[in-house]
Chain A
């Protein structure tokens, strides 16, 4: 099994790139791969708890919790989150907060990296 690191920079609502990223992470984890997920920019909103799932909008909280249960390491950019008004007490438990070097360090030990840029 390999190590896959995903970086996502797209927003939860307004783009389907983040939905795709979460599904890809699950598919890879289900196959037994080690998966790391870095969230930066608008993607950091997916790490906020108490998301209300309205049917017209994507939701990320449930998939994120499932990924954490599967052992996927998820980390979001602390500065990006704080700039968007997300405080640590609002974060989904288990989602790490760090800076960009976390992403580079995970890239170092990855067999494959998929960087899904912002809109």
Chain B
């Protein structure tokens, strides 16, 4: 099997723990996994933001000012920059009353990818098509 699909499901809120940060950083590491794989082998990641996990995507975070750490917004933007697919649960955004224009993007970094706001049914499909699920 040449490609293995991994779904990184981020469901924890930002900054309460480092869990959501680790979800992003583990997903981003697909960029260098080929160093440890054979030719033709690939790990295909998809990031799924559900539940309180959608709160990680709010833009204009002030983590460096308040906590002295890189913001989770920055990890989200870097994820888009390295062409990760990030699926965001529309129902959970609606539940928190978060409009799309409150969410991060990485246009200023030159990223082509954008957050993909989708119904949960689409996230379910992505999880069902993955070989492995990793919940953060």
Contact = CB atoms under 8 A, between A and B. Distances in A.
Interface residues of A, number: 19
Given A103-B26, A107-B4, A115 B134 contact: yes
Contacts of A86: none
Contacts of B117: none
Contact of B19 (A102, A110, A117): A117
B130 to A, nearest CB: 10
Contact of B29 (A7, A99, A113, A117): A99
Contacts of A113: 132, 134
Nearest to B25: A100
Contact of A108 (B17, B25, B32, B41): B41
Nearest to A102: B36
A107 to B, nearest CB: 6
A9 B134 CA distance: 12
Interface of A: 7, 9, 40-41, 99-105, 107-108, 110, 113, 115, 117-119
Interface of B: 4, 6, 17-19, 22, 25-26, 29-33, 35-37, 41, 43, 132-136
